[in-house]
Amino acid sequence: MARLSLVLGTFLLAGVVQAAEVDYHKDIKPLLSSRCYSCHGALRQKLGLRLDTGELIRKGGKSGPAVVPGNSKESILIEAVRGEGREKMPPDGEGTPLSDAEIALLKRWIDEGAKAPVEPVPPDPREHWAFRPVSRPSVPECEATWNLNNPIDALVFADWLKLGLAPRPLADRATQLRRVYIDLIGLPPTRAELHHFLADDSPDAYEKVVDRLLADPRHGERWGRHWMDVWRYSDWFGRRQVPDVWNSAPQIWRWRDWIVRSLNHDKGYDRMVMEMLAGDEIAPDDDSVTVATGYLVRNWYALNPNQWLRDNVEHAGKAFLGLTFNCAHCHDHKYDPISQEEYFRFRAFFEPLQLRQDRVPGEPDPGPFQKYDYSVLRKIQRNGLVRVFDEKLDAQTFMYLGGDERDRMEGRLPVSPGAPAFLNGDRLKIKPVELPTAAWYPGSRSFIRDEEMRKAVSALAGTRQQFAEAHLALHGEYRRLGMIESQPDIGEKILPPPLQDARVAVRARIQQLEREVQRKEVEVAAAEARLAALKARIDADEARFAQRPDATDKAKAASKAERLAAVQAARVSLVAAEHAGKADQIAKAQKSLSVAQQAAAADNDNYTPLSPIYPKQSTGRRRALAEWIANRDNPLTARVAVNHIWMRHFGEPLVPTVHDFGNNGKPPVLPELLDWLASELMDTESQNKGLPGDGQWRMKRLHRLIATSAVYRQASGAKPMVDGRQPIAVSPRRMEAE
């Protein structure tokens, strides 16, 4: 009887569970959101159909209502997800079809009446606040009794007034000095600097301190550290506590120094962005600019180029635009109007990239960049300039299912470079960049030729000196025991018995020196041949670049001289092997000499260049991208930059999600202040004085405005919570260790 009751209870419980209605918000909306909104949501409405509210589902699109409440068999939505209707959902190749269980859930919901609560229609994500143009807001008027040093104060204090608060009093002068010192140069003032400031009663005493700190070289070091955090500076790659030499970039300390110099010279933020993304296309023969591409070198991942490309896309999007492009790698972005295709179009900007290692004046030749080779240990190389260049001018970018680079989408053509259409990034004009000779053939640079000639001449002089010293030592041995008489070439003389032992030692020494003289003699010939070959190669280069009629003859002469130098080098190896007396080495050296002599008899115009030769063009893709990002019409660039700057001064950003200005991020605490700062950063007509430059995108000007504002100089303390948020004010912060 108990067992029968248990069985009946089980069936009754199953009936209760089965009878429970499908919950729209719990069961249906998440399913549609994850599988359907990319084509039938706020951004896109294929066939006029939206599925992001119950009312819109019932309304349907061009084909009529998507569902018939109470009748799933007559609902075109069920036909579509089953693939039975004219329109399949999802279309072939654009996603994974719904499972049988998911379709069954939809059918139950429809058969139960397709019930859904009334809810607001989601706004178009393209109308998001961050995607609207930056517009300088009007500055509100505030009470005359408040400290108003510049518009920042008026905007912030007006917000305080709305919250029913009054501004705080200014901090004492010593606190103000310490605060601005730490923020601008990263160090507190010395006792002498504090006393000097407190003794200065002039009305602009504080402003003079700010100007002096902005001109201090330590300012670039302090703020370079902040920006290097944003741009992810690291010259060493560590994995599982083991240094990964292959993925490290120890030479990008030059990019670090470029950041510091650029900040100290108050280079425009827009220009810095452009040089980091495309310095090799903007000023291809200027090492002081191309060094900025260390930003792209930093993401280098030797084992997997796809990882390098993914990192470039993700971190360029976050650092410069505040967009999470990485969310569109596997599928259309869930929140922002970025499709998966647009993700790969953005990746196409970086597809041709490769690294190279250029020589710099006054440093040894670092040689070509060492690409990944599992069987070879990569050398730690800190010389030279590591930078990017476009190696594959026709590089194609394909789309991959789920973002998996092992699974290319069949039937899809390569995508062209482009940025998101909602930001007008699909209108970029990409023009190939014709590179100057020094950019595609670094060996043409005068300092490389001069240094190579200096080394060759010095090597020849040194070898001749060694030959002379060996020759002198040989004759010295002859003379030391009076062995050179009328027949110096024979060097024979009958010696008394006590000197017989000395005679044996001298003969051994003479034989050694004779071999040394012979070796140095062939080394001199080899050094002379190397110098002659170098001169011939330089002559051939000059004739080729000048397109002279004798270019081919010069190239043949250089090729011949280089092959003759190889013969002399082979003779050096043979003499060394003969002196070592090892048969296998002698045989090998003889064979090498024979090969070199046969090659010398040939006639061609192939000679070794003074450096690697790279493509004569660059695609211009990254330059177009950089110009689009740095354009003042881009609504994100300046907003993202000023948000980072404000955060470092106040401890809290205006936009809490510093790397996500999109729909999934948080709105700005004070939108008017954010846009005023962004406008001020970009403004070329500002009347602020005291700083060099034309004012365009100048960060020092913005630092000065913030540091001299009354808001910044207020006393710090706990901030009240009003209407769910805290007002903008300086908060107590620990001094950083960096």
H-assigned helices in 20-166: 29-35, 37-40, 54-59, 76-82, 100-111, 151-162
pLDDT band at 477 (very low <50, low <70, confident <90, very high): low
How far apart are alpha carbons 236 and 250 in whole angstroms? 6
Sort 615 into a burial class: Cβ within 10 Å, 0-12 / 13-18 / 19+: middle
pLDDT band at 695 (very low <50, low <70, confident <90, very high): low
Average pLDDT over every residue of 6-29 = 63
Residue type, 470: A
Q: Does residue 156 lie in a domain region?
A: no
pLDDT value, residue 171: 95
State how many domains the chain has.
Answer: 3
Whether pLDDT at 503 is above 70: no
The conformation of residue 719, written as its DSSP 8-state character, comes to P
How far apart are alpha carbons 644 and 651 in whole angstroms? 10
Is 152 or 4 the better-scoring residue by pLDDT? 152
CA angle 46/50/53 to nearest 5° reads 165
Whether pLDDT at 373 is above 90: no
Helix or strand holding residue 654 (H, E)? none
Q: Which of 122, 153, 182 is the last residue of a domain?
A: 122
Query: DSSP 3-state assignment of 176?
Result: helix
How far apart are alpha carbons 322 and 307 in whole angstroms? 20
> How many CA within 13 A on the CB side of residue 16?
6
Q: What is the residue whose two structure tokens read 């330059």?
A: 623
383-432 tens-digit pLDDT? 889 999 999 999 999 999 888 888 888 888 999 999 999 999 888 899 99
pLDDT value, residue 590: 86
Residues in the chain: 738
Query: Do 533 and 564 meet the contact criterion of CB atoms below 8 Å apart?
Result: yes
Compute how many other C-beta atoms are within 10 angstroms of the C-beta atom of residue 153: 22
Compute how many other C-beta atoms are within 10 angstroms of the C-beta atom of residue 240: 5
How far apart are alpha carbons 308 and 715 in whole angstroms? 46
Average pLDDT over every residue of 349-356 = 95
Residue type, 273: V
First to last CA, the chain: 77
Question: Which domain covers residue 34, as residue numbers?
Answer: 23-122
**Among the listed ranges 92-101, 189-198, 265-274, which one has the minimum average pLDDT value?**
92-101
Q: Does residue 588 lie in a domain region?
A: yes
Phi, psi of 390 (to 5 degrees): -85, 105
514-524 tens-digit pLDDT? 777 778 788 88
Whether pLDDT at 439 is above 80: yes
Query: Do 207 and 150 meet the contact criterion of CB atoms below 8 Å apart?
Result: no
> What is the percent of the chain with per-residue pLDDT over 70, rounded to a whole number?
88
112-151 tens-digit pLDDT? 888 888 888 778 888 899 999 999 999 988 776 667 889 9
Whether pLDDT at 689 is above 60: no
Whether pLDDT at 732 is above 90: no
644-660 tens-digit pLDDT? 999 999 999 999 999 99
Q: Does residue 42 lie in a domain region?
A: yes
C-alpha distances in angstroms, 716 versus 181, 656, 679? 16, 20, 28
Q: Does residue 727 lie in a domain region?
A: no
Query: DSSP 3-state assignment of 385?
Result: strand
Assess whether 562 and 626 both reside in one domain.
no
How far apart are alpha carbons 522 and 565 in whole angstroms? 11
The conformation of residue 722, written as its DSSP 8-state character, comes to B
pLDDT value, residue 486: 40
Query: Do 417 and 624 meet the contact criterion of CB atoms below 8 Å apart?
Result: yes
Compute how many other C-beta atoms are within 10 angstroms of the C-beta atom of residue 555: 21
Sort 109 into a burial class: Cβ within 10 Å, 0-12 / 13-18 / 19+: buried
Whether pLDDT at 349 is above 50: yes
Cis peptide before 90 (omega within 30 of 0): yes
pTM of the entire predicted model: 0.84
Which tokens sit at 563? 């092959």
**Residue 714, strand partner residues:** 170
Phi, psi of 547 (to 5 degrees): 55, 45
How far apart are alpha carbons 17 and 12 in whole angstroms? 9
How far apart are alpha carbons 123 and 312 in whole angstroms? 31
Compute how many other C-beta atoms are within 10 angstroms of the C-beta atom of residue 429: 8
Sort 140 into a burial class: Cβ within 10 Å, 0-12 / 13-18 / 19+: middle
Assess whether 567 and 499 both reside in one domain.
yes
543-594 tens-digit pLDDT? 998 889 998 999 999 899 999 988 888 888 888 888 877 888 888 888 888 8
pLDDT band at 688 (very low <50, low <70, confident <90, very high): very low
Assess whether 333 and 286 both reside in one domain.
yes
Q: What is the residue whose two structure tokens read 């409440």?
A: 69
Query: DSSP 3-state assignment of 190?
Result: coil
Assess whether 419 and 527 both reside in one domain.
no
Query: Do 21 and 115 meet the contact criterion of CB atoms below 8 Å apart?
Result: yes
Sort 343 into a burial class: Cβ within 10 Å, 0-12 / 13-18 / 19+: buried
Helix or strand holding residue 219 (H, E)? helix 217-230
177-234 tens-digit pLDDT? 999 999 999 999 999 999 999 999 999 999 999 999 999 999 999 999 999 999 999 8
Nearest to 521 by CA among 458, 571, 581: 571
Assess whether 348 and 386 both reside in one domain.
yes
How far apart are alpha carbons 321 and 315 in whole angstroms? 9
pLDDT value, residue 501: 54
The conformation of residue 664, written as its DSSP 8-state character, comes to T
Q: Which of 122, 140, 165 is the last residue of a domain?
A: 122
pLDDT value, residue 156: 94
Q: Does residue 220 lie in a domain region?
A: no
Assess whether 596 and 623 both reside in one domain.
no
Average pLDDT over every residue of 172-176 = 96
Which tokens sit at 317? 């999007």
Query: DSSP 3-state assignment of 434?
Result: strand
Assess whether 270 and 417 both reside in one domain.
yes
Query: DSSP 3-state assignment of 355?
Result: strand
Assess whether 286 and 434 both reside in one domain.
yes
Q: Does residue 574 lie in a domain region?
A: yes
Query: Do 647 and 653 meet the contact criterion of CB atoms below 8 Å apart?
Result: yes
How far apart are alpha carbons 124 and 135 in whole angstroms? 20
Compute how many other C-beta atoms are within 10 angstroms of the C-beta atom of residue 698: 24
Assess whether 437 and 383 both reside in one domain.
yes
Which tokens sit at 139? 């500055």
How far apart are alpha carbons 529 and 560 in whole angstroms? 11
pLDDT value, residue 45: 76
* 242-243 and 353-358 beta bridge pairing: unpaired
How far apart are alpha carbons 45 and 51 in whole angstroms? 9
Compute how many other C-beta atoms are within 10 angstroms of the C-beta atom of residue 39: 21
Assess whether 240 and 316 both reside in one domain.
yes
Q: How far is CA 365 from the centre of its chain?
A: 24
Q: Does residue 291 lie in a domain region?
A: yes
Assess whether 416 and 293 both reside in one domain.
yes
Assess whether 582 and 626 both reside in one domain.
no
pLDDT value, residue 7: 46
Residue type, 721: M
Q: What is the residue whose two structure tokens read 């606040």?
A: 129
Compute how many other C-beta atoms are within 10 angstroms of the C-beta atom of residue 270: 22
pLDDT value, residue 487: 43
Whether pLDDT at 468 is above 70: yes
Mean pLDDT taken over the chain = 85
> How many CA within 13 A on the CB side of residue 187?
13
Query: Do 522 and 515 meet the contact criterion of CB atoms below 8 Å apart?
Result: no
Is 55 or 543 the better-scoring residue by pLDDT? 543
H-assigned helices in 83-126: 100-111
Query: DSSP 3-state assignment of 557?
Result: helix
> How many CA within 13 A on the CB side of residue 283?
14
Q: Does residue 14 lie in a domain region?
A: no
How far apart are alpha carbons 277 and 349 in whole angstroms? 10
Residue type, 687: Q
pLDDT value, residue 643: 98
Average pLDDT over every residue of 59-85 = 82
Query: Do 196 and 212 meet the contact criterion of CB atoms below 8 Å apart?
Result: no
Whether pLDDT at 342 is above 50: yes
Q: Which of 89, 122, 155 is the last residue of a domain?
A: 122
pLDDT band at 667 (very low <50, low <70, confident <90, very high): very high
pLDDT value, residue 498: 54
pLDDT value, residue 463: 86
CA angle 427/432/436 to nearest 5° reads 145
pLDDT value, residue 27: 85
